[in-house]
Chains A and B, each alone.
Chain A
Amino acid sequence: MESLSNRKKQLEVKPLNFWEKAYLPAIVKGLSITMGHFFKKPVTIQYPEQKREFSENYRGLHSLKRDENGKERCTACGLCALSCPAEAITMTAAERQKGEEHLYREEKYAAVYEINMLRCIFCGLCEEACPKEAIYLDGDIVPSDYLRKDFIYGKDKLVEAPLNQ
């Protein structure tokens, strides 16, 4: 049959010669290869003490950002929830009251903002959908827990620490 890529190679299967049949030289060669590895430096990362750096574009735990004045950026527009294929994000919007201008950047803010970490697939679409650059998946791995309800992360876990701290 005509080869599609013209890169097909005809391999020649030669009969084994005596030393190949004897099997022992091959074993000795194999032993020397493994012995080479015996003296190599281990590549282990001792996890709890040492952590491997994540890559630049690693998508981990979400964080809700603040602006340069420490105000929450999120305006509860709901685009993240809309774009979320796993429907992990829910939120309740509220209106900013007098005297709360230092807390929220615009008139509308998210009073409740919850992400279900068991549903989230860390696709990053919320990050892309957000017009206010309020949500980023720049955190660590989601820690393990015992109860399902503890995986619903509210604003207490998601919002960045205030600037003055």
Chain B
Amino acid sequence: MQLTIADIAIKFGLIIIIFLISLVIAMYSTYAERKIAAFFQDRVGPNRAGPWGILQPLADGGKMFLKEEIIPTNATPFLFIVGPSLAILTACIGSAVIPWGQNLVVNGKVIPLQVTDINVGILYIFGVVSLGVYGVMIGGWASNNKYSLLGAIRAASQNISYEISMGLSIIALLLVTGTLSLGEIAQQQHGWHWNVIYQPVGFILFLVCAFAETNRTPFDLPECETELVGGYHTEYSSMKLGFYLFAEYINMFISSAVMATLYWGGYNYPGMDWVTAHVGPVIGPLIGTAVLFTKIFLFIFFFMWVRWTIPRFRYDQLMDLGWKILIPLAIANIVVTGIVITFL
């Protein structure tokens, strides 16, 4: 296919928009987190900066940028800077393969609402997510602080353990869908054929692993302040710390998007054919995009809801859950799915 300048411009615009959306959502996730935490604790939450405190993320960001930047004397300066950069980079590039909506048709021109529909989309996501642990690991190592290193080791071993069961839970899904491309998986779930109906156990496994992968409570062992001072980012200050925290929120957004796409039908909603036919070929898909974002926001809310409900795991419990429960369960799920597909 010959790429015209218009195609490239559209792609570039889409990349910029998705990048900005993920940054803004991550920014306001911090606000939402504080607000939701407050509601769960019968408080009011931030309400001083602007109406209802909606300027709070900007104030926080300004504070982060203006704080003194400290690089410890015994740290490795290059790696110390690379750590948070890697964390935020890997968090941002995950959004490239997520289908944000159906193809838009404007003046006979098809505009796909997906940066790139590579045919190994899920593997790409997994690759990127597993690179994310390098940011944490390098940061903890470069700090030259034993608590940071312990936090980083815990992060690494946790991420690796849970990535195994995450991958296994995906395999059962792939048996059902028969494709690795996220665009195709989203298309297959047209209407009501959401994968969560066919793969409920797989979804729960994936959900649990997503919590662990994003280092969210109850799996936030890398930053256990009571045991490890602060965890892998103990030595970090100013915006380098900000990048680590920000990466966590972007990761949360991306993994919510992945879960919505893989299991909850992505941009599909019941009756979308009727809407597309009657409302228009542009508005219809855009409603689908809005539906996808609603699902994503619900997942982000769920992340926060769980954070204020379940206490942190002890480390050995975490490993027990990962290796002795989730992995066997995921394998059993694959076997059952395989049997069902073969004989039914």
Docked complex Cα distance between A34 and B311 (Å) = 13
Which residues of A are found within 8 Å of B28, using beta-carbon distances?
A: none
Taking the nearest CB of chain B, how far is it from the CB of A69, in angstroms? 48
Mark interface residues in B20-57 (1 if CB within 8 Å of A CB, else 0): 00000000000000001011111110010000000000
Assess whether B42 is in contact with A42, with CB atoms less than 8 Å apart: yes
Main secondary structure on A side of the interface with B: helix
Which residues of B are found within 8 Å of A4, using beta-carbon distances?
A: none
Docked complex Cα distance between A44 and B47 (Å) = 12
Assess whether A42 is in contact with B310, with CB atoms less than 8 Å apart: no
Docked complex Cα distance between A103 and B305 (Å) = 65
Q: B297 in the interface, Cβ–Cβ < 8 Å?
A: no
Assess whether A38 is in contact with B309, with CB atoms less than 8 Å apart: no
Assess whether A37 is in contact with B310, with CB atoms less than 8 Å apart: no
- Residues 9-39 of A contacting B (Cβ, < 8 Å): 24, 27, 30-31, 33-35, 37-38
Which residues of B are found within 8 Å of A33, using beta-carbon distances?
A: 309
Assess whether B305 is in contact with A31, with CB atoms less than 8 Å apart: yes
Q: B269 in the interface, Cβ–Cβ < 8 Å?
A: no
Assess whether A42 is in contact with B309, with CB atoms less than 8 Å apart: no
Assess whether B43 is in contact with A30, with CB atoms less than 8 Å apart: no
Assess whether B42 is in contact with A34, with CB atoms less than 8 Å apart: no
Which residue of the partner chain A has the closest CB to B38? Answer: A42
Assess whether B309 is in contact with A43, with CB atoms less than 8 Å apart: no
Assess whether A27 is in contact with B310, with CB atoms less than 8 Å apart: yes
**In the complex with contacts A24-B204, A27-B310, A42-B38, A34-B305 CB distance below 8 A:** yes
Q: A46 in the interface, Cβ–Cβ < 8 Å?
A: yes
- Residues 292-306 of B contacting A (Cβ, < 8 Å): 305-306
Which residue of the partner chain A has the closest CB to B208? Answer: A24
Assess whether B44 is in contact with A42, with CB atoms less than 8 Å apart: yes
Which residues of B are found within 8 Å of A7, using beta-carbon distances?
A: none
Docked complex Cα distance between A35 and B304 (Å) = 11
Assess whether A42 is in contact with B306, with CB atoms less than 8 Å apart: no
Docked complex Cα distance between A35 and B310 (Å) = 13
Q: A40 in the interface, Cβ–Cβ < 8 Å?
A: yes
Assess whether A35 is in contact with B42, with CB atoms less than 8 Å apart: no
Docked complex Cα distance between A67 and B309 (Å) = 58
Docked complex Cα distance between A40 and B38 (Å) = 11
Q: B323 in the interface, Cβ–Cβ < 8 Å?
A: no
Q: B124 in the interface, Cβ–Cβ < 8 Å?
A: no
Which residues of B are found within 8 Å of A38, using beta-carbon distances?
A: 36, 39-40, 305
Docked complex Cα distance between A41 and B40 (Å) = 10
Docked complex Cα distance between A78 and B234 (Å) = 55
Docked complex Cα distance between A24 and B310 (Å) = 11
Assess whether B40 is in contact with A37, with CB atoms less than 8 Å apart: yes
A31-B306, A37-B41 are known contacts; what are 16 more A-B pairs with Cβ within 8 Å?
A27-B310, A33-B309, A34-B305, A34-B308, A35-B305, A37-B39, A38-B36, A38-B39, A38-B305, A42-B38, A42-B39, A42-B42, A42-B44, A43-B42, A44-B42, A44-B43
